[in-house]
Chains A and B, each alone.
Chain A
């Protein structure tokens, strides 16, 4: 009986050790990403298996794009405030609102055009297969983002 107890204790110790070994091996990449200066870019490097040179180029493109993106953000905010103000105006006839909405749509198109251009540049900096995968992945999550309206091939149309 004592030998069986020892065997079971040894088994539990072995199971615990293998659990931590496998868990640590699986999550080692997470630790590397989280300790990087820009974790999201470090994650992109591991996700799309980029070499150091490719990653350097992606990082350069990202750094060059960020100021444009920030500027776009401010313009979007200003436009949203403009729409809100024209909606709240007492003598509102609807003309101002329609004009502000049209401008917001033009701004969105301009912004999406710049995003698309950036995605193309980044995908070209990656190996061909990974670049294609990146482009599909990022476009799906930004330009083709489903905002409530079901897409025809999304399978969410009721029969």
Chain B
């Protein structure tokens, strides 16, 4: 008896859910309001970036700002030059090691080195 009542309730609930349609307001006025809201959100970050950029601009135009920037460039250039020189030195050292060992060890000597 109770099972039959439950089945009847489920059937009614199913029918109600099928009939239900959300009534959203997708009118042009509503859409414009949504876009305005998004634009307002974006414009709130714009002043922050422009303030930050103008401060950076001012700082770079000052002598100490320019000196710091030039120092950073000089440091980056010298660091990269040092690393690249070190890499070339290591490669050269490996080549010279192989060449020296090849000249003194008959078991590693290249065939072209002897008649």
Among residues 58 to 110 in chain A, which have CB atoms less than 8 Å away from a CB atom of chain B?
Answer: 62, 65-66, 69-70, 72-74, 76, 108
Please report the total number of A residues contacting B with Cβ < 8 Å: 48
Interfacial chain B residues near A141, Cβ < 8 Å: 97, 101, 105
A14 vs chain B, min Cβ distance (A): 5
Interfacial chain A residues near B66, Cβ < 8 Å: 7
Interfacial chain B residues near A145, Cβ < 8 Å: 108
Q: Is A17 an interface residue (CB 8 A)?
A: yes
Size range of the interface on B?
Answer: 35 or more
Interfacial chain A residues near B89, Cβ < 8 Å: 26-27, 29-30
Interfacial chain B residues near A41, Cβ < 8 Å: 100
> A19–B103 contact, CB under 8 A?
no
> A65–B85 contact, CB under 8 A?
no
Q: Is A135 an interface residue (CB 8 A)?
A: no
A-B contact pairs, 23 of them (CB 8 A): A1-B57, A4-B57, A7-B70, A11-B70, A11-B73, A12-B73, A14-B70, A18-B74, A23-B82, A23-B85, A26-B82, A27-B85, A30-B89, A30-B92, A33-B96, A43-B92, A69-B105, A70-B114, A73-B109, A74-B114, A115-B105, A118-B104, A145-B108
Residues of B within 8 A of A (CB): 57, 60-61, 66, 69-70, 72-74, 76-82, 84-86, 88-89, 92-93, 96-97, 99-101, 103-109, 113-115
